[in-house]
Amino acid sequence: MNSPAQPTRASISAFLICCNEERNIERCLESVKWCDEVIVVDSGSKDRTLEIARRYTDKIFEREWPGFVAQKRFALQQCSSDWVLNIDADEVVSPELRDQILGVLTNHSPEGNAVDGYQLSRVVFYMKRWWRNGGWYPEYRLRLCRRSATTWGGEDPHEKALVAGATKRLSGELQHYTYSNLTSQMSTLNKFSETAAKSMFARGERFSVVKLVGRPIARFIKFFFLKSGFKEGFPGFLVACIESFYVFLKYAKLWELERGVAEQNTKSTN
């Protein structure tokens, strides 16, 4: 009598991009060490990031920073497995999410051949709490994809997977250990706002006072009221204010960029 066939599963590559992430990367890599392949693309770390990464993988690529979209596109191209899992250095795959992903990869999943990508539920840990209220939650990111159906696109700094096929959601959480403190948050948003302003300018979006004033207000209303950030008390108010200021910065920097280009054009015609 033949024994029942043993379950098999598709292979999976985890990939991440990083720079100076010694505070986070071990926690991240520990959570994906069950993957068949781990790809790390580093853009010039000066701390112990690479030393830590080498404990988990020998597939490490050192490459100058070309932008978020281009760097993740390169990282995706280094993957060789059937499926790819994109994770940031400050994120962790929870045990529940890991088990759900392994379930997707087995040939016993009835939807295994019909779905080409999965959106993962991301939850932020910041100010000593998990943020299940406010504008950061719920937040689904398309991070688990069939490699053959996936390209990387979007717009810096908001890159994203582009999947040519059906997608679904998994309920297991991708844990995001984001900013370490308010200084860290402001520093990150300052950099992101500059990148976002350049992307807006490149695609033809132009500054207006209505956008400068109205969109930050809309952001605050979304974070604090519509998404129940008020349930987090004063920290919820702080986060809503800072997110609002981020949007203000984007449009202020777009105005600055437009003015600089206009001045340069005036000089070149004189």
**What CATH number corresponds to the domain at position 101?**
3.90.550.10
Quick one: 131 and 211 in the same domain?
no
The pLDDT assigned to 109 comes to: 53
| Strand locations in the chain (E) | 12-18, 37-42, 60-62, 83-86, 91-93, 117-126, 129-131, 139-146, 150-155, 158-163, 167-177
Rounding to the nearest 10 degrees, give the CA dihedral for residues 93, 98, 102, 104: -70
Q: Which of 177, 209, 226 is the last residue of a domain?
A: 177
CA pair distance 160, 203, nearest whole angstrom? 17
Per-residue pLDDT band at 15 (split at 50, 70, 90): very high
Distances (CA, A) of 58 to 8, 39, 45, 54, 220: 26, 8, 16, 6, 44
Quick one: 68 and 189 in the same domain?
no
Per-residue pLDDT band at 6 (split at 50, 70, 90): low
What domain range includes position 139? 12-177
Quick one: 201 and 108 in the same domain?
no
Question: Which pLDDT tens digit goes with each residue over 163-200?
Answer: 999 999 999 999 999 999 999 999 999 999 999 999 99
CA pair distance 158, 142, nearest whole angstrom? 12
Q: 113 or 83: whose pLDDT is higher?
A: 83
Quick one: 194 and 156 in the same domain?
no
Per-residue pLDDT band at 4 (split at 50, 70, 90): low
The pLDDT assigned to 179 comes to: 93
The pLDDT assigned to 213 comes to: 98
Quick one: 42 and 138 in the same domain?
yes
The number of domains in the chain is: 2
Per-residue pLDDT band at 35 (split at 50, 70, 90): very high
Quick one: 53 and 96 in the same domain?
yes
Distances (CA, A) of 235 to 45, 173, 188, 215, 255: 32, 22, 18, 21, 30
Residue at 20 is within a domain: yes
The answer to whether 118 touches 169, Cβ cutoff 8 Å, is: yes
Residue at 3 is within a domain: no
Quick one: 42 and 64 in the same domain?
yes
* Residues forming beta bridges with residue 14, ordered by sequence position: 38, 85
Residue at 29 is within a domain: yes
Is the pTM here over 0.85, yes or no?
Answer: yes
Residue at 7 is within a domain: no
Contacts of 192 (CB under 8 A, 6+ apart): 157, 246
The answer to whether 81 touches 27, Cβ cutoff 8 Å, is: no
Quick one: 125 and 227 in the same domain?
no
Helix, strand, or coil here: 48?
coil
Indicate the range of 2-6, 75-79, 101-105 predicted with least confidence: 2-6
Question: Which pLDDT tens digit goes with each residue over 192-231?
Answer: 999 999 999 999 999 999 999 999 999 999 999 999 999 9
Per-residue pLDDT band at 3 (split at 50, 70, 90): low
The answer to whether 36 touches 11, Cβ cutoff 8 Å, is: yes
pLDDT at 269 over 80: no
Quick one: 107 and 213 in the same domain?
no
Q: What is the mean pLDDT of residues 33-54?
A: 98
Q: What is the mean pLDDT of residues 114-129?
A: 95
Indicate the range of 6-10, 124-128, 182-186, 243-247 predicted with least confidence: 6-10
- What one-character DSSP code corresponds to residue 82? S
Residue at 6 is within a domain: no
Contacts of 57 (CB under 8 A, 6+ apart): 29, 37, 38, 39, 40
Per-residue pLDDT band at 262 (split at 50, 70, 90): confident
Q: What is the mean pLDDT of the chain?
A: 94
